[in-house]
Amino acid sequence: MYLIALYWSLQTLTSVGYGDIGGDQTTYEVYAACFAIYVGTIAFGWIIGNVTAIVMEEDRVTFTVQQKISELSSYMQQRQLSRPLRKRIAQFYDTKWKASTVFDEAAVLLELPSCVSATAHSFARARGSSSYITRSLF
């Protein structure tokens, strides 16, 4: 009886449902079902936790860059810098932040053969898009 109660509570709490409780199930089937529900719940929680951590890390990086852009904009306004100078400063930081990555680029490129390394380096530098920082500051 307690085993059936455990089975019912696990199915209810995990939203699996409990329409299959009947007299034709053996004790081993109920144990196996409880175990499968428990393992499934742990796997689901682990996956959701990792996805959440990845999203939060991206948000943290984005927030940090946006905060630095805001501080830079406030500084330039407070000092009443000219528009061309503001644009040059924004372009400098845009280039600096675009060039920085989470990887140790020098170490990665050193491991590659020289011809592949040179191609990868020039490709990474040539990829340019419209500047987020420049758009944000003006």
pTM of the entire structure?
0.43
Which pLDDT score, from 0 to 100, does residue 18 have?
Answer: 57
Which pLDDT score, from 0 to 100, does residue 10 have?
Answer: 77
Phi/psi for 19 (5° steps) reads -80, -5
Is residue 44 packed enough to be buried (19+ CB in 10 Å), middle (13-18) or exposed (0-12)? exposed
Which has more confidence, 33 or 43?
Answer: 43
**Does residue 59 contact residue 100 with C-beta atoms inside 8 Å?**
no
Average pLDDT over residues 98-105: 65
pLDDT at 81 over 80: yes
Cα pseudo-dihedral 114, 120, 123, 129, rounded to 10: -150
Query: Rounded mean pLDDT of the chain?
Result: 77
- Cα separation values, 27 from 21, 57, 120, Å: 12, 45, 61
Per-domain residue ranges for the chain?
Answer: 1-80, 82-138
pLDDT at 49 over 90: yes
Which pLDDT score, from 0 to 100, does residue 101 have?
Answer: 60
pLDDT at 79 over 80: yes
